[in-house]
Amino acid sequence: MPLAPTIKSAVAKKLEEYEGRYNHLYLDIVGKVTVGIGHMIPNKFAISSVPLFTVLNNLPATPATAAQKQAEFDQIAKQKRNYRAGWYKQFCKLVMQEADIDRQRDHHIDSFYKELIALYSTRRGFQKEFDQFPAAAQIALFDMIFNLGATKLKGQFIKFNAAIKSEDWKTAGI
């Protein structure tokens, strides 16, 4: 069953609201190189798969080479932390196109959805499948999995997950 379009739209809107939308590399709150809508890049070799373009006359021009991407990663990684994302633009020569940011965001949502429906299912003891949870609960769980990851969401929030299991949305804080 695919994710309901209304939920996907709400999640996309919330992600952008909380994470921002930046077409250039920046350091996130913990100092990790990031791009788009909170897409963390774990190392300079992983940046090869990120679609970045050189800039000509303030517009994306040609696809950046792996060497250009890695150099930009290194340039941003060595900057001071705890600045707003826009501050890092002064050090960037590469940009991500809006359509690629959207694709990257949608890929994250689809990936998180697969993890959420696997985690919150009747075969794991929940009374309902994830898709049957209230919309507010689904959106909140997307936010949590985006920021924590599935492992932490599953393993470190025992009381929270117990409340969801019993559909006690108030105790769960949803």
Is the model's pLDDT at 60 over the cut of 90?
no
State the pLDDT at residue 56: 80
Domain boundary among 82, 102, 122: 102
- Euclidean distance between CA atoms 22 and 98, whole angstroms: 9
Domain boundary among 50, 79, 102: 102
Domain count for the chain: 2
Is the model's pLDDT at 65 over the cut of 90?
yes
Paired tokens of 114: 């697969």
pTM over 0.85: yes
91 and 114 co-located in one domain: no
- Euclidean distance between CA atoms 153 and 163, whole angstroms: 13
Domain of residue 37: give its range.
19-102
Domain boundary among 67, 102, 137: 102
Paired tokens of 162: 């117990």
96 and 110 co-located in one domain: no
Q: Write the Ramachandran bin of 142: left for phi over 0, alpha for psi from -120 to 50, otherwise beta.
A: alpha
For residue 123, give the H/E element and its range: none
